[in-house]
A and B are shown apart, each in its own frame.
Chain A
Amino acid sequence: MTPAHMEAALLLAGVLFMLGLISVLIRRNIIFMLISVEIMLNAAGLAFIVAGSKWVQPDGQVMFIFILTMAAAEVSVGLALILQIYHQLKTLDSDAANLMKG
Chain B
Amino acid sequence: MELTFYIAAAVATVATILTITRYNIIHALLYLVVSFLAVAVVFFTLGAPFMAALEIIIYAGAIVVLIIFVIMMLNLTHEDVDKEKAWLTPRVWVGPAILSLVLLAELAYIILAPDTQPTEALVAVDARVVGMSLYGPYMLGVQLCGILLMAGIVGAYHLGRQKKKVVHRFLQPKEGRSAAI
Q: Is the beta-carbon distance between A61 and B130 smaller than 8 angstroms?
A: yes
Q: Given A87-B162, A92-B74, does the pair A35, B134 have CB atoms closer than 8 Å?
A: no
In this complex, which of A10, A75, A84, A87 has the most chain B Cβ atoms within 10 angstroms of its Cβ? A75
CB atoms of A21 and B47 under 8 A apart: no
A39 and B46 within 8 A (CB): no
B181 on the interface (CB 8 Å rule)?
A: no
Question: What is the number of residues of chain A that contact chain B, defined by CB distance less than 8 Å?
Answer: 67
| CB-contacts of A7-42 with B (<8 A) | 7-12, 14-16, 18-23, 25-29, 31-32, 34-36, 38-39, 42
Tell whether A77 is near chain B: CB-to-CB under 8 Å. yes
Complex-state Cα separation, A76 to B65, whole angstroms: 11
Contact, CB under 8 Å: A64 / B51: yes
A97 touches B (CB below 8 Å): no
Which residues of chain B come closer than 8 Å to A49, judged between CB atoms?
43, 46, 48, 51
Interface string of A60-93 (1 = CB under 8 A from B): 1110111011111111110111111011000011
- The answer to whether A5 touches B62 (Cβ under 8 A) is no
Determine if B84 is an interface residue (Cβ-Cβ < 8 Å): yes
**B contact residues, range:** 35 or more
When C-beta atoms are compared, the residue in chain B nearest to A64 turns out to be B51
B108 touching A79 by the CB < 8 A rule?
no
Q: Are the C-beta atoms of B96 and A69 separated by less than 8 Å? A: no
Minimum CB–CB distance from B50 to chain A (whole Å) comes to 7
**C-alpha gap A3/B62 in the complex (Å):** 34
User: B125, A57: Cβ atoms under 8 Å?
Assistant: yes
Q: Mark B1-26, 1 if CB is under 8 A from A, else 0.
A: 01001100100110011011000010
Q: By the criterion CB–CB under 8 Å, are B148 and A69 in contact? A: yes
Interface string of B88-125 (1 = CB under 8 A from A): 10001100110011011001100110000101111101
Query: Are the C-beta atoms of B108 and A14 separated by less than 8 Å?
Result: yes
Residues of chain A whose beta carbon lies under 8 Å from any beta carbon of chain B = 1-3, 5, 7-12, 14-16, 18-23, 25-29, 31-32, 34-36, 38-39, 42, 46, 49-50, 52-53, 56-62, 64-66, 68-77, 79-84, 86-87, 92-93
A sample of 11 more A-B contacts (CB under 8 A), given A7-B112, A65-B51, is A3-B117, A15-B104, A22-B100, A35-B29, A39-B19, A39-B20, A56-B125, A62-B141, A70-B145, A79-B156, A83-B159
